[in-house]
Structure 1
Amino acid sequence: MKRPVHLPLYHEFLELFDNYEIQNWEAKQFWEKLNINQIYRNDKTKRLMYSGLKVLIRFQYLEVNHETSRKNVFSYTETPRMNELRNRTKKQKLEEIFSKKKTEFLDQIKDKENNIEFLESLLSDDKTLEKYFINHKETMENDIKNIKSNIKLMDDIMNK
């Protein structure tokens, strides 16, 4: 069984990859762009960054561009595998957000359907009330359509 690999500054690197495309970056550019609080910008954190770069190279998310590298100053470029990582990370974030939102939407649909059923039960008792409820009923039906449209949009985004 493979042992999981620890990527130092994991969250900082993921945020960086989410916001930037890495083309011929030197380590100093990673250091400048990593979202690290000034309090923690010290030699230990810099060593963690270099360790993280080594891990990313070993697992082929980054590669050293030997043409643009100089002695002891490496130039890093992302590989196609980096886009796979970006897509996975994006999908995880969206799944979390969409899952919560979908639950909210489904609850709203249930409430509105319950209200429509209530209005219909009142109408079944007395059809003359229809003129008072028709606008409310149509509004709720339109709301349900809009909510379902939003759910479909989220599903479409997740399936792309």
Structure 2
Amino acid sequence: MCVCLGTIEDVDTEFNWYYEASKKCCSAIKKEGDIVKCKKENKVLKSIVPRFRLKIIVYDNTDDATFVLFEKEVQKMLNKSASELLDIQEMKGDRYGFLEAFTQLLGKKLLFKVDIPSKHTSGTNRNFTVINSMDDQKLIDKWMGLYMKIESERYKQEQIEYESVKDVEG
């Protein structure tokens, strides 16, 4: 798990912004002919619901990464469910198109709590699932204060190590 401060730079439109899910457990579905089943529980479903799975590009002043937002987080940011937005798209006759509503996410600066997979190695997969996000300025300021303190301590330690190597080589 990791917390970072970043700005939403773009919405990845290469992938669909929603998936069809079980109403009960929110898991994706699988279709076997005319039968629809929950992928997680493998139970036949009577009804399904669209749920957000939105990929965004986030920049933190050092690099960018793809963050994956699910229903709770996108709904919190847009104040609409995937179902509501899909209804709007269907009225426009464009079920799979890019939603205008997503443009209001661009430029937003947020604290993101993201899941770092245990098998993650730097530079490989740069897709991270967002567990929580917030734009509360007081919390962001508090986080920045802690971050700056940690970075200052790290820099001091590097300077001490550098000086001790210089003394040994000296």
TM range (shorter): under 0.3
More strand by share: 2
TM-score, reference length from structure 2 = 0.25
What's the TM-score once normalised by structure 1's chain length?
0.26
Q: Which has the higher contact order (CA 8 A, sep 6+)?
A: 2
Of Structure 1 and Structure 2, the greater helix share is in 1
Larger radius of gyration: 1
